[in-house]
Amino acid sequence: GENVEQHPSTLSVQEGDSAVIKCTYSDSASNYFPWYKQELGKGPQLIIDIRSNVGEKKDQRIAVTLNKTAKHFSLHITETQPEDSAVYFCAAGGSYIPTFGRGTSLIVHP
Amino acid sequence: DAGITQSPRHKVTETGTPVTLRCHQTENHRYMYWYRQDPGHGLRLIHYSYGVKDTDKGEVSDGYSVSRSKTEDFLLTLESATSSQTSVYFCAISESGSGNTIYFGEGSWLTVV
């Protein structure tokens, strides 16, 4: 089955800096890569996703890039704000139920 | 927010007792899932359903059973709770099992003492 590795497990940045979270996957058949944000005490919520027919997707301060050859994809958050502090999960899927990474705890210091 | 309601939201139970968590959706999505979330392990799939009375195991299904008698309801049962089942449980839904967004509920915090 699919194996998703996510790094780093914890990321601490100053407000205004950029943050990058990276994931690798093992199954070359995967073609759907969502990212979720989980705030304390809540369920994960989709923030952005990308499919294998595009290499990059942006939505305001967040962007996701995909390198299918290397089988890795990344989440980029620019101009971080304290409200970006949360746990972020990547996932990889395709013809099967997505497999999730173990999560990255992002801490944005004011 | 996706129309997913989990109950109970918090529960403390004793080792060896049966526990049932309920998930109710108002989106008429075909797929429903139960995940558990533990520190260092992320989200792990316990069981999922792809239709009424159609269920399958996930990666951590031992000690759990599920039932789906109606499209909108998916039950997770711990037949005899153990301390290792202390966790946060999330119900989720999606229109299909592949390539569609999975929407999560707000979670059920279970403590087994």
* Interface test mutation site (partner A, options B10, B45, B54, B98, max chain A beta carbons within 10 A): B98
Inter-chain residue contact A102 with B33, CB threshold 8 Å: no
Amino acid type, B21:
L
| Predicted local confidence at residue B66, as pLDDT | 98
pLDDT tens string A69-102:
999 999 999 999 999 999 999 999 877 788 999 9
Pairing of strands A104-109, A10-14: parallel
| Closest Cα in chain A to B2 | A45
pLDDT tens string B5-54:
999 999 999 999 999 999 999 999 999 999 999 988 899 999 999 999 99
Burial class (CB in 10 A: 0-12, 13-18, 19+), A93: buried
pLDDT tens string B84-112:
999 999 999 998 767 788 999 999 999 99
CA distances, B56 to each of A25, A34, A64, B28, B84 (Å): 23, 23, 32, 19, 22
Number of H helices, E strands in chain B: 0, 11
Chain A: closest CA distance from residue B82 (Å) = 23
